[in-house]
Structure 1
Amino acid sequence: MLAKQVWRLYHKRDTLLYKVLSAKYFLEGSILEAPISSNGSYVWKSILQSREVILKGAIWRVGDGHSISIWEHKWHPEPRRSKIVSPRLDASVEKVYDLFYPNTMEWNIELLESSFYPWEVEAIRRIYMSKLRQVNCFVWPLSPDGSYTVKTAYHMLASEECVEKNLEDQNSLKSQALHLESSKGLATYKAKQGTSANPSGLCEEHQETILHVLWLCDHAKAVWKSSFCFSKLYQRVFKSFLDLFEAVLEQGSVFNVVVFATTVWSLWQRQNRLREQ
């Protein structure tokens, strides 16, 4: 509930509560930039703790772009990717306004393509820019009208708990990959499954295509099936490794893509080492 007070303190600056708190705790800026003070009251400290909920879920809707920091603020329109992840290459490009052609409200396409990853460029280009130079708005994208609600915040935080659970699954997946680095580890896994292990760790019954080595082989399955987000993909049939990778991208999780790529690299390295033995 206190997060709702943070939202009001930012958007309704003509209230008595805003005038009292701003005069005491943040004479400049807004509640979003207010520093944490050890001398603050219990209520004020509680409000600042609740501020983290707002900062996690809210984003900036681009107006004139003058006050929105490209790399510090969340303004990217894609769900779950509201903060730019591309590395900063040009120190002179700081505010969203710098991404427009001079004296216009049109995106500088060449600058976008040289500054951001392709998927970020595509999303940014879809942001409609009014020529009326509207003000930047701080909105809550989880509700239809852009206003904060306790219900949508609850769902957001509940979803984060699921992400943390997936993180535990990914750690388990990594442990499985490391465990299967040795033939002994593979033999142990096979023994638990009631099957025999190939001492060399290489498949002899199938043509070793990239898809088979990294996905269909028993050694690879032992790794992938230790994580729910990847094991459910075995319900589908893929004709190539590219089809598999596209399915991972469709999940919409950057974290899963990174884990997938890292695990594929580990499996490939393991296969190369086994061939050299």
Structure 2
Amino acid sequence: MALPTYTMVCFLLPKTVCKQIMAIMSDFWWRSRKDSRGMHWKSWESLCKPKECGGLGFKDLEALNLALLGKQMWRMLTNKNSLLTRVFKSRYFKKSDPLSAPLGSRPSYAWRSIHAAQKLVQQGARVIIGSGKDTKVWSERWIGSKPAMMVTSMRRHERGRQLDVSEDMRVSELLCGNGSEWNAELVRDMFTEEVKSKILAIRPAGRNSMDTYSWEYTKTGHYTVKSAYWVQTNIIEGVEEKQAMIQPSLDVIYQQVWNLETSPKIKHFLWRCLNNALPVAENMVHRHIGKNKECCRCDGVAESVNHLLFQCNFARLVWAEANVHIPPAGKWSDSLFSNLHWILNLKKSIQWRLWKKV
């Protein structure tokens, strides 16, 4: 990962390159010999899910690339006097900021790459109002959160006259006194009820404070690649919602597996059990490798992961000799997940030994 990461900090890798790199990583993970590609029991997308959601926590390179590029855009927002910011501002956003700047005509590949992360940064960036002098009312994201949004005016006549509102109006013009309080009457006249309530809930820092940007997905307010990657995969791409629809009840079991006080080898084996990623006879026939899916010890019964570990005659004998209590129903369930949930806190290594004895 070290080689592409350095490049991904500055440039947007083509999707084909990302897919080729991820294919190499997937081959390396599944193969058992150098001259073999190995059997890919789960897709790369499945491996990239968090461990508590059934994956292994590998990184999706396209999402990681955007999170790294978002760091460059964040630097432009928070360090406006840096050489990087001044160079790009003079060319691409003379009268705006990186969050609202268009791609422009004939952009450099560097700007095209950073601009690709604009949607991601918009999702979590919010202006923290200080004096309000540097923040435009209509074109910057300074109210609400996750994501912060721009405001729209409620232009109407007040006492027989129409409010004169400038497009370049600053937030400081909505403040009164020493800049730490809102002009409530003006805010009510200019904005809808929904926007008004959000504005009045903000506490300005005062005239002597600078307007700054805060990242909504960390406690410190600082942008991190880790939090941005989470935003890209779980909110923008919606992986979290999709996963909840597919496996709403297995998260507890996955967390239990990864929190076990046992060797990483056994944890990985249990993960493969839960994901049906073992070369048992039933799975091999399903992949058109072999024709007989029956258990070699039990006549006429298909060899599934659950059968091999719990319902096979040999497995039953092993569990009995290990003095493991049978589930309350009096027999092992037809559900692998129920059996694993019952047994995880009792004997972690017996399942591994059963597999090695097959």
Q: TM-score, normalised by structure 1?
A: 0.48
Structure whose CA Rg is larger:
2
TM-score of the aligned structures, taking structure 2 as reference length: 0.39
Question: Hey, which of these two has a bigger chunk of helix by percent?
Answer: 1
